[in-house]
Amino acid sequence: MFAAVNLEVFDALTEQPRTGAELAAMCGMSVEPLTRLLEACVSLGLLLSEDGRFRNTPVSETFLTRTSPQSLVGYVLYSNNALYQLFVHLEDAVKEGTPRWQQTFGWPAPIFEHFFSTPEKMREFIMGMHGFGLSTSPAVARAFDLSAFHTIADLGAATGHLTIAACEAWPQLSGVAFDLPPVIPFAAEQIAKSSAASRISTVAGDFFKDELPNADLYALGRILHDWSEDRIRHLLRRICERLPSGGALLIAEKLLHEDRTGPASAYMQSLSMLVCTEGRERTLTEYQALLTEAGFARVEGKRTGKYLDAILASKD
């Protein structure tokens, strides 16, 4: 799948079915090796084949083409070009307990300054994360009754997909997408397409050190699993102190089972965090301990049935 996305196979099939020879001519590749890749994609359910012609499945057309609004291409390419390479050194990550960027690429932290070396690369990755968010944020936004809140501020919002989903689901909410300055234009672009656009604004900043926007509901989507315990404690304390009485924090993360037997996808993600970041995945009980220590009074968790689950931590 990574190779086929990188070679733009699915993009070449968006207009019409094509033979291996036609695709090879379009892409400047040899027919037999490309046909072998295409047939492998058929076996994986990513392509269909009929009368010697290949065409996209609905899934590949939706998620693996660059022009789809729900495209995951940027995330797939990041997985191919970065995560796949980092996993080569998984054994060393296990032995040393540190990410593998220096060993794999010769890059010191912070990693994203290198990965976002061009505007095109930044757009590719962020829009891939946007496609991922479209599949998870609506379920997270509806996991709890948010009708009592007035303003949601999504910290590390990326394209603002969680803010957008929350404001579209709860008409009394206004929203703020808060992220680093280079990311804000991507959020503004997606917010403008939303039916709730008039209720959503953007603010640039660093949630570890800059003043947080006023809100009675903060959100963190796939943020906490990136960081060390010390950085998480610092961030959660900042949020709790900023919240008014009765305010809350909505968290979107993949929850491990309490008996630590799964789900497998969460454990594979936790290994990705090991080779890539300072963080890891956690159980609800582990999140409850961190949130309670930060000053939150009540912590609830819900499994959404999507890739990400939801946690709501309330302040007295």
Instruction: Kindly state whether residues 292 and 153 are assigned to the same domain.
Output: yes
Range of the structural domain that residue 51 is part of: 2-63
In a domain, 120, yes or no: no
In a domain, 230, yes or no: yes
Instruction: Kindly state whether residues 307 and 165 are assigned to the same domain.
Output: yes
* pLDDT at res. 239: 98
* pLDDT at res. 9: 97
What element of type H or E holds 276? helix 264-276
Place of tokens 């890749």: 37
Query: What backbone torsions phi and psi does residue 189 show, to the nearest 5 degrees?
Result: -60, -45
Instruction: Kindly state whether residues 230 and 137 are assigned to the same domain.
Output: yes
- Assess whether 225 carries a catalytic annotation: yes
Render pLDDT for 4-16 as a digit per residue (tens, 0 to 9). Answer: 999 999 999 998 9
pTM here?
0.93
Instruction: Kindly state whether residues 143 and 277 are assigned to the same domain.
Output: yes
Surface-to-core class of residue 84, CB atoms within 10 Å of its CB (0-12 exposed, 13-18 middle, 19+ buried): exposed
Picking from 63, 78, 96, the residue at the C-terminal end of a domain is 63
Amino acid making up residue 100? R
Cα 49 from chain centroid? 32
Instruction: Kindly state whether residues 159 and 252 are assigned to the same domain.
Output: yes
* pLDDT at res. 115: 64
* pLDDT at res. 145: 98
Q: Pick from 40, 55, 48, 43: which is nearest to 3 by CA?
A: 40
In a domain, 147, yes or no: yes
* pLDDT at res. 168: 98
In a domain, 95, yes or no: no
Instruction: Kindly state whether residues 54 and 139 are assigned to the same domain.
Output: no
* pLDDT at res. 108: 73
Give pLDDT < 70 ranges for the chain: 109-115
* pLDDT at res. 121: 81
Instruction: Kindly state whether residues 52 and 153 are assigned to the same domain.
Output: no
How many whole angstroms separate alpha carbon 142 and alpha carbon 165? 9
CATH number at residue 16: 1.10.10.10
In a domain, 232, yes or no: yes
Instruction: Kindly state whether residues 143 and 43 are assigned to the same domain.
Output: no
User: Which of the residues 150, 225, 234, 257 is marked catalytic?
Assistant: 225
* pLDDT at res. 136: 96
Instruction: Kindly state whether residues 149 and 239 are assigned to the same domain.
Output: yes
Number of compact structural domains in the chain: 2
In a domain, 126, yes or no: no
Instruction: Kindly state whether residues 146 and 244 are assigned to the same domain.
Output: yes
Instruction: Kindly state whether residues 52 and 143 are assigned to the same domain.
Output: no
How many whole angstroms separate alpha carbon 67 and alpha carbon 81? 20
The SS3 call for residue 189 is helix
In a domain, 31, yes or no: yes
Picking from 30, 46, 63, the residue at the C-terminal end of a domain is 63
Picking from 38, 63, 88, the residue at the C-terminal end of a domain is 63
How many whole angstroms separate alpha carbon 67 and alpha carbon 89? 34
* pLDDT at res. 250: 98
212 within 8 A of 241, measured Cβ to Cβ: no
Cα 58 from chain centroid? 22
In a domain, 155, yes or no: yes
* pLDDT at res. 155: 98
41: tokens are 């994609």
Give the contacts of 261 (CB within 8 A, at least 6 positions apart): none
Instruction: Kindly state whether residues 304 and 165 are assigned to the same domain.
Output: yes
